[in-house]
Structure 1
Amino acid sequence: MELVVYLAGEIHSPWRNEVKEKAKALKLPLTFVGPMENHDRSDHIGEEILGEQPNAILKDEAASKINNLRTQVLMKKADLVIALFGEKYKQWNTAMDASAAITLGKPLVLVRPAQHHHALKELSEKANVTVETINQALKVLSYIFETE
């Protein structure tokens, strides 16, 4: 059995590479999908497809529609979602993706540092599992495949 895992969270740091490398080292049968990790491409995809927009707001809206379509398609195909709330970047997209996973009935593993406990308490209660580190999230996934 192989699972498809949607990796929700900021695209500014290489945390997804860490998840993928550690999952590979553990020999977990996982395929990873997620948002466009090339930030510049994500910001400009609307204009690349629809042409130049008259202002920054419409440029953002055009890109957002295409990025939201990508998220919807890939998340619906995913077996579960890992949503990472890091320590550095604003996390609005992570909150939106975690909420979408809950709405779609996708199992959700929420990764958040202890200092974000209070801010994310309601979301943590809706997630299937809340952990503080990527290693803990991978242990949760690893447990799914254990037979004894």
Structure 2
Amino acid sequence: MQLAVYLSGEIHTQWRDEIIAGCAQHGLDIVFYSAVTDHDASDAAGDMLGEEEKSFWRDHKSAKVNAIRTKTLIERSDIAIVRFGNKYKQWNAAFDAGYCAALGKPYITLHDEDIIHPLKEVDASALAWATTTDQVIEILKYVGQNTL
């Protein structure tokens, strides 16, 4: 069974590459989609709509252009993986998780134990919480191939 998986969340570590490589090692038939991982490109997503004097309006336009992409790819996906790192607040990832919950789209959270409390509502709607990319790969392996 082919799966479409959306990878959301922090952009400062190689977790996406680890999941993609691990799934390939197991021969899983998965198409991966991802948020824009180039911070500058994401911030500039709305610049084609004209220059803004105030950063609020630049951010506002870029957020909306990014949302077109994000919403489209989440809706196209079967499952989302939502990664929260410890160093930065990933409000966009929390929003993606909420969007998945509203759509009834299954999602897996990926984060360390020391941020369980601030993510309790996000985790409560997730169908799984993982602390390692290997755990995520095993879940995807089970879902896609029905093997443990």
What TM-score does the superposition give when structure 1 sets the normalisation length? 0.93
Q: Write out aligned runs for 1:11-26 (5 A).
A: 11-26=11-26
Structure 2 letter corresponding to 1:94:
A
Name the CA distance, whole Å, in 2 between partners of 1:22 and 1:86: 20
Q: Report what 2:140 is aligned to.
A: 141
Q: Report what 1:82 is aligned to.
A: 81
Name the CA distance, whole Å, in 2 between partners of 1:89 and 1:134: 19
State the number of aligned residues: 147
What TM-score does the superposition give when structure 2 sets the normalisation length? 0.93
Q: Deviations over 1:80-136 (max 9, x none)?
A: 101011222222111111111111111111111111112212221211111111111
Name the CA distance, whole Å, in 2 between partners of 1:61 and 1:16: 27
* Runs of 4+ more than 4 Å apart: none
SS at match of 1:119: helix
CA contact 2:45–2:65 (8 Å) conserved in 1: yes
Q: Report what 1:57 is aligned to.
A: 56
Question: Percent same amino acid at aligned positions?
Answer: 37
Q: Deviations over 1:42-92 (max 9, x none)?
A: 111211x21211221111111001001111111000001010112222221
Name the CA distance, whole Å, in 2 between partners of 1:131 and 1:13: 16
Q: Report what 2:28 is aligned to.
A: 28
Name the CA distance, whole Å, in 2 between partners of 1:14 and 1:44: 23
What 5-or-longer segments of structure 2 have no aligned partner? none
